[in-house]
Structures are given as structure tokens and as C-alpha cells.
């Protein structure tokens, strides 16, 4: 299939499943080599990161804790700047090594907000792992310790990422055609 139509938008193939899985293995290897003095806590940002998290976490053979948190910031193709974080999953993070698992860092507002909230829980470290990042859209510099791919400022779907809840199931990543 060379294009895909969702509502009024046409999408074209962008990053295929093989590239994604190769890159995910590299990230898993990097994590395996990092020295954690305590089992890390992975905070998976729902919903977009669920596929990436499932694939990445199953490549790790050290003990870790996995929690899911929901942050809502997008409506359609626009980042709204409004956030809601369900914080009941943020208990007992004192002195823990936290790795946030994100699908994509766009403006960086979401990740910055999450880091702010986490910092109040007195963790030992906070690291970010994101499948994708759009550096040209970042509002301020963002340190991403484990990054899958840098992409231009274009809207993408697939591999967990949606357009109005559609496209999450697609095994490859697709980008919107201008």
C-alpha cells in the first residue's frame, strides 16, 4: 500500500517496522549497559507509547517496574498546551531511577510538564526515552537520553500514534502528505 486515507488526510509510508525494531534493539542494548543501582521505574505515557513500550520492555532482561500514566495534550493534529496527568501512579518514587517512555516529543511541553511533576516526588534520576522527536518544534532544549529517530516537524501516525484514535494499530509509521 503506498498511501492511506484517514478522514480527509492522506498518509504515506515513512519509517518501516524493520527499521523501528532494529532501532528499538539498539535502545534496549544501551539501557542494558547503563548501570542502575536500583531497578528502574518505567513510566509509559499512554496512549501513544503503548506499542513502543511493549516492544522495548520485552527486550530488557533486567528487573524493572512498569507503570502507565495518561497525559492528554493533543486534539486532532494540534498540541493544545492543556494537560491532565493522572497522578495516582506517581506514588513511592523517592530515590528511584525513572525512565519516561514517550512516543514522540513535539513542542516538548508534555515531557517538560511531566518532569516538573516528577521532580516534586524526589526521584534519584529522571531520564527520557522517546521513539520519535521533532527537534525543530521543541520550544526549549530537551535532553532525551534514549531516542529512536529525529524527524522533521510533520504529523505522523502508526506504531501506537493516532490521528483521532485511528492508525494506532499500523505496524509502520506513516506521515501526512502535505
74 binds ligand 5GP (CB under 6 A): yes
Q: Which three cell numbers stand for residue 157?
A: 501516525
User: Could you tell me which residues are beta bridge partners of residue 175?
Assistant: 12, 156
Of 106, 143, 153, 172, catalytic: 106
Nearer to ligand 5GP, 39 or 177 (CB): 177
- Name the minimum Å distance from CB 153 to ligand 5GP: 8
162 binds ligand 5GP (CB under 6 A): yes
Query: Among residues 136, 138, 134, 129, which one has the least CA distance to residue 151?
Result: 134
* Active-site residue, 55 included: no
Q: Which three cell numbers stand for residue 116?
A: 516538573
- Name the minimum Å distance from CB 50 to ligand 5GP: 11
97/129 Cα distance (integer angstroms): 13
106 binds ligand 5GP (CB under 6 A): yes
- Name the minimum Å distance from CB 177 to ligand 5GP: 13
Whether residue 144 contacts residue 27, with contact meaning beta carbons closer than 8 Å, is answered with no
157 binds ligand 5GP (CB under 6 A): yes
Whether residue 154 contacts residue 174, with contact meaning beta carbons closer than 8 Å, is answered with no
Residue 88 buriedness (CB in 10 A; 0-12 / 13-18 / 19+): exposed
By annotation, the residues acting in catalysis are 106
Binding residues (CB under 6 A) for ligand 5GP: these are 48, 73-74, 79, 102-110, 155-157, 161-163
Amino acid at each position: 500500500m503506498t498511501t492511506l486515507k484517514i478522514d480527509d488526510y492522506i498518509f504515506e509510508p515513512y519509517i518501516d517496522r524493520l527499521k523501528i525494531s532494529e532501532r528499538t534493539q539498539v535502545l534496549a542494548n544501551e539501557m542494558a549497559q547503563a548501570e542502575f543501582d536500583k531497578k528502574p521505574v518505567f513510566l509509559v505515557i499512554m496512549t501513544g507509547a503503548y506499542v513502543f513500550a511493549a516492544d522495548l520492555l520485552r527486550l530488557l532482561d533486567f528487573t524493572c517496574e512498569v507503570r502507565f500514566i495518561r497525559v492528554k495534550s493533543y486534539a486532532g493534529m494540534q498540541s493544545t498546551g492543556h494537560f491532565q496527568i493522572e497522578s495516582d501512579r506517581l506514588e513511592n518514587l523517592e530515590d528511584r531511577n525513572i525512565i519516561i517512555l514517550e512516543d514522540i516529543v513535539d513542542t516538548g511541553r508534555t515531557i517538560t510538564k511531566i518532569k516538573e511533576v516528577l521532580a516534586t516526588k524526589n526521584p534519584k534520576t529522571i531520564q527520557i526515552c522517546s521513539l520519535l522527536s521533532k527537534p525543530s518544534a521543541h520550544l526549549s532544549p530537551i535532553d532525551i537520553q534514549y531516542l529512536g529517530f529525529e524527524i522533521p516537524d510533520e504529523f505522523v501516525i502508526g506504531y501506537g500514534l493516532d490521528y483521532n484514535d485511528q492508525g494506532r494499530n499500523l505496524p509502520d509509521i506513516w506521515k501526512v502528505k502535505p
